[in-house]
Amino acid sequence: MTGARLLRYLLWRLLQAVPVILGVTVLCFLMLQLAPGDLAEVLAGESGGASPGYIEELRARYGLDKPVLVQLLIYVKNVLFFDLGFSFRHNADVTSLLLERMVPTLLLMGSTLLISVGVGALAGLFAAIWVRTWRDHLISLAAIIAYATPLFWVGLMLILVFSIWLDWFPTSGMENVVMFYEGWDRVVDIAHHLVLPAVTLSLFYMALYTRLMRATMLEQRGLDYVTTARAKGLTERQINFRHVLRNALLPVVTMAGVQVGALLGGSVVVESVFAWPGLGQLAFEALFSRDFNLLLGIFFICACLVVVVNILTDLVYVLLDPRIQVDR
């Protein structure tokens, strides 16, 4: 694969992404119009009372009195110039609000992805190698339990055991707000706070990868090329790690790519249990307060993330399997 070819491929994929993202934006915008109630009503409602005229004034201010189509055109025009608008509820730029929440989200998402794919694939691998032994049963049973347990409950139990009883980790938050550490101490402090939420979120996904990895490993081992490899005298170890593993990883990578999008949404629960300041909670609050500018901004970022991750996934395929090549 030459550099120029790769570049052309990437450009083509990015070009393809533009209508996708615009489509998502327009669709989301229109769907949000279906929700009854608007920002002005919620804002006035939160104030515990409003004098006559206050709500109309709010509406006119936020441009909510214009026809929907005009609102949409204004919005799309702004997005094309990378202007995501202003969140009146937060009295802040949507872009800066999103950037502030991106770091914690990526931190949680990244560590979850690492732990769940890494440990999950490994567990699945060993379960397949030890197939139908007590070790395989143990791994499979653990995976099913982890998969079937509600996330919020796992989170609360981890807090109870590791935070309240054992006092190993803080209950919630991203850093210590009495000490306000700086520099390296702060990095350690944040990592310390990250452990419980990342483990909670990983448990669920880990189970998926374990099951998937085990199944594809077993499937691959029944194929002809494995028989060929065995016939030419390779050891079981060589067959498993050099041939079967690489093929079995493809579905896992596909799954991981698809799930990055879900991870953003799935983390609303974990974020709220551990008070982790991610995008999920922000989206949740924005929906209930009808802060559509902010919500559309989040959808926009998520759409971009999904597109980028999909491109990355395709590139990983190429690395894993030389038969797959990039082409437009």
The binding site for other proteins (CB under 8 A) comprises 35-38, 41-52, 54-56, 61, 86, 88-92, 97, 100-101, 104, 152, 156, 159-160, 163-164, 167, 170-175, 177-178, 180, 271-278, 281-282, 285, 288-290
Contacts for 38 with CB less than 8 Å, ≥ 6 apart: 59, 64, 290
By C-beta, is 186 or 246 nearer to other proteins? 186
The minimum distance between CB 133 and other proteins, in angstroms, equals: 39
The minimum distance between CB 28 and other proteins, in angstroms, equals: 17
Give bridge partners of residue 92 from the DSSP assignment: 87
By C-beta, is 176 or 310 nearer to other proteins? 176
**Nearest CA among 243, 279, 287 for reference residue 260:** 279
By C-beta, is 49 or 233 nearer to other proteins? 49
By C-beta, is 8 or 90 nearer to other proteins? 90
The minimum distance between CB 164 and other proteins, in angstroms, equals: 6
The minimum distance between CB 295 and other proteins, in angstroms, equals: 12
Question: Taking the C-alpha atoms of 36, 38, 44 and 46 in order, what is their torsion angle to the nearest 10 degrees?
Answer: 70
> For residue 258, with 0-12 CB atoms within 10 Å meaning exposed, 13-18 middle and 19 or more buried, which class applies?
middle
* Distance from the Cα of residue 182 to its chain's centroid: 28
Cα–Cα distances (Å) from 210 to 111, 124, 134, 231, in that order, read 17, 4, 16, 29
By C-beta, is 292 or 317 nearer to other proteins? 292
The minimum distance between CB 29 and other proteins, in angstroms, equals: 17
Q: Given 3-state DSSP classes, what are the helix, strand and coil percentages for the chain, each rounded to the nearest 5?
A: 75, 0, 25
By C-beta, is 88 or 317 nearer to other proteins? 88
The minimum distance between CB 299 and other proteins, in angstroms, equals: 18
Cα–Cα distances (Å) from 152 to 165, 175, 192, 267, in that order, read 18, 21, 20, 10
